[in-house]
Amino acid sequence: MGSKEPFLKGRPLMKLINWISSSLRAKLLLMFLFLTVIPLITIGLVAYQKSYNTVYENSKASAVLTADQLARSLGTLFTDSSKLLELGNHSQVLHFLYSQNDTYEDAKEILRTIDSYRQTYKYESVLNITMINLYGRGISERRGVFVLDKNPLRNPHFAYLIDNPDVVLTVPPLDALMLDHPDGLQEKPAISIMAAVKQRITHETIGFIVIDVDASAVSRFCDEVKVGETGFFYIVDASGRPIFMPTGLVPDQVLPERDILARMATGALSSYVDKSGGGPKFIFASSPQAAGWKIIGQVQLREIVKEADSIRQLIIVSVALSLFFAVSLHFFISSRLTRPLKLLKNKMKLAASGFLESKVTPAGNDEVAELGRSYNIMLGKIKALLEQSIREQEEIKKAELRALQAQINPHFLYNTLDSILWMAEAGKNDRVITLVQSLSRLFRISLNRGRDWIPLEKEIEHVHSYLIIQQMRYRDILEYRIEVEPHLLPCSVLKMTLQPIVENALYHGIKNKRGKGMITVSAQESGERELQLTVRDNGCGMPPDKLERLRRDLLNGRLPVETGEEVSGGFGLHNVHQRIKLFYGESYGVQIDSAAGEGTTVTISIPRGKEE
């Protein structure tokens, strides 16, 4: 079963490819897909992606802007509360912290000053203000004057301020210690703002001031302000530790990893998309505020891009309507285009079956109509070519018949057999054998199993056999020479090309000359693709008027009008010329040059055929 599976999978694809390649309508449909459907879908996708990105960026910017506004509100709360640290510069406070024996009236004056600040600035979120010196003696709004039974420097926050007197500490409720509230009052969770109090002249630290801000004022930011439908804000310190969370949320269950928060707290990462469990979440950070804390927002990504859903639906509807109209237009146009082409195809099928009268009636002047007119012209030319081909085939058959008749000339056969007879009677057996072998080769090559083409080597052997026979008969007047380059012997030529020309040279040139004559048969290349076969004799030649008449007859395809023994030779020359033109084309054929008393040269030009 495993070997059949790829085959089964490939069949639908092959059917689709075959359908497309065999149908113009399928090609038009494919072109329509590339030019219309794909661009429309691409535009829709690009538009949706662009709108999605725009909504996404705008929603992110809006969420970050909300976080920054919350951060500014938180910063304003701390800045306003930190103004109370100015009490540390008040002369009575400095005197109280520096002295060991202040009176009750001095303490009341300090409390009146604190109350005056409260009345002026409306510090509703400030729960308590405490001042304490290095010896444990202090004063607060809630308790009044008090003395600690422990060294205040045991508080690590106070110890830190001793080493860093110019720093203002903001301590969240998570880090609050009992020692942060020297007066012992801690009714509500508080954010403690601490600073060192320094002597005016020496700038020596003489005590500390602690402003307790109601932590619920900050918690309200986390509980009341939302982002999206389910998103929320929380606050982290400078190390990325969550210090304020919305009520009911457990940090370890809803917040990202601590190293991510640390990077956001330091500003190394302003926002990112968390793809952990529960769906992707967009997490972003505000700008830092005075305490070094940051407000972090967290919301499901789908909530901030939900506006893109309506845009997506609008784009889908628009693309679907556009596709509907485009497809309808495609089928209308393709139907109008392919209907006349189908008619033309059916007419062509009739013509292919042999009915050449199946012409079309073109309508209009477009390309399809022009194609129909061209098809009608083509049918006419095909009919003419068929008729011409039939005529040429008849001419070829006639030429081959004439060639066969010339080859088996009764006079030639009678004279050859007569020569064999008297040589046999004279006991010249060697010559009899030579004549019989030559005659046998002559007829064997002439037949050539019915094929028209033979290697040049066989054609030379054929004419050589003919010359051997004729030389034995005309040994006193005939000599011959054959000159062929060996690499040309495998070339394919039309059979019965040389023998009629050699016969013509013997009977019309050598026999009419006094003394011995020479017939030279040669073959040579002419250029890269042409072969020239030459038969040259030094016989009696012919006068110019007879040469001109013979050339004209060859050019016009007329048979020579002669009598007696000349008929075979004249027909032979014309027959070779006619056959070469029929088989090779009008560019090839026989050329003849002659001069009276000097001889005749016949040159046969043919294309160089492939080697056999």
Written as six digits, the tokens of 496 are 């019965």
The predicted pLDDT at position 232 comes to: 85
Using pLDDT thresholds of 50, 70 and 90, give the confidence band for residue 317: confident
The yes-or-no verdict on residue 2 having pLDDT over 60 is no
pLDDT on residue 517: 92
pLDDT bracket for residue 555 (50, 70, 90):
confident
pLDDT at 592: 94
Stronger pLDDT, 357 or 539, i.e. the higher one: 539
Residue 370: predicted pLDDT: 78
Cα-based distances in Å from 409 to 161, 191, 460? 141, 137, 20
How much of the chain, in percent, has pLDDT values that exceed 90? 14
If you write DSSP's letter for every residue of 238-262 in order, what string do you get? TTS-EEE--TT--HHHHS--HHHHH
Across all residues in the chain, what is the average pLDDT? 80
Domain CATH for 150 = 3.30.450.20
The pLDDT of residue 430 is 84
| pLDDT confidence tier of residue 524, bands split at 50, 70 and 90 | very high
Lowest mean pLDDT across 121-135, 204-218, 403-417: 403-417
Strand 453-455 vs strand 599-607: parallel, antiparallel, or unpaired? unpaired
Domain's final residue, options 162, 188, 214: 214
For residue 70, tell me if it sits in a domain: no
> Which has more confidence, 609 or 126?
126
Residue range of the domain that includes 110: 90-214
Judge whether 298 lies within some domain. Answer: no
pLDDT at position 288, please?
Answer: 66
The per-residue pLDDT for 209 is 92
- Does residue 518 lie within any of the structural domains? yes
pLDDT of residue 36: 76
Among 214, 249, 284, residue at a domain's last position: 214
376 falls within a domain = no
In a domain, 492, yes or no: yes
Tens of pLDDT along 230-250?
A: 888 888 888 888 888 888 787
Cβ–Cβ < 8 Å for 537, 515: no
b/e 208-238 (16+ beta carbons within 10 angstroms → b) = bbbbbbbbebbbebbbebebbeebbbbbbbe
Mean pLDDT of 564-569: 44
55 dihedral zone (left: phi>0; alpha: psi -120 to 50; beta): alpha
Strands 126-133 and 205-214, by their bridges, are antiparallel
pLDDT in the model for residue 572: 76
DSSP assignment of 566-584, as one string? HHHHHHHHHHHHHHHHHHH
Among candidate residues 126, 125, 132, 79, the one with its CA nearest the CA of residue 110: 132
Over range 482-490, report the average pLDDT: 92
d(CA 29, CA 39): 14
The arithmetic mean of pLDDT across residues 324-345, rounded, is 75
Mean pLDDT of 583-608: 91
Tell how strand 190-198 and strand 169-171 pair up: antiparallel
Rounded to an integer, the average pLDDT of 396-406 is 58
Q: How many domains does the chain have?
A: 2
The domain that contains 430 carries what CATH number?
A: 3.30.565.10
Half-sphere exposure of 294 (CA within 13 A, CB side): 25
**What is the reported pLDDT for 8?**
43
Determine the Cα angle at 401 with ends 397 and 406, to 5°. 150
Contact (Cβ atoms closer than 8 angstroms) between residue 107 and residue 147: no
Q: Is a pLDDT exceeding 80 seen at residue 121? A: no
387 falls within a domain:
no
User: Residue 335 falls within a domain, yes or no?
Assistant: no
pLDDT at 590: 93
Helix (H) or strand (E) holding 17: helix 4-22
Is the C-alpha dihedral spanning 551, 557, 561, 563 positive or negative?
Answer: positive
- The answer to whether 416 touches 465, Cβ cutoff 8 Å, is no
Domain end marker among 158, 180, 214: 214
When pLDDT is averaged across residues 114-140 and rounded to a whole number, the result is: 85
DSSP state of 172: -
Question: Is 260 domain-assigned?
Answer: no
| DSSP assignment letter at 558 | P
138 touches 184 (CB < 8 A): no
In this prediction, residue 137 carries a pLDDT of 87
Give residue 25's pLDDT: 66
Distances (CA, A) of 47 to 32, 121, 308, 318: 21, 54, 11, 11
Cα 279-280-282 angle, rounded to 5 deg: 140
How far apart CA 242 and CA 254 sit, in angstroms, is: 11
- Tens digits of residue pLDDT in 164-222: 999 988 888 877 765 556 655 566 788 888 999 998 888 899 999 998 888 888 888 78
Q: How confident is the model at residue 263 (pLDDT cuts 50, 70, 90)?
A: confident
Phi/psi of residue 608, each to 5°?
-75, 110
Give the residue from 533, 531, 503, 532 showing the smallest Cα distance to 519.
Answer: 503
**Which residues have C-beta within 8 Å of that of residue 156, sequence separation ≥ 6?**
177
Please, are residues 408 and 591 in contact by the beta-carbon 8 Å criterion?
Answer: no
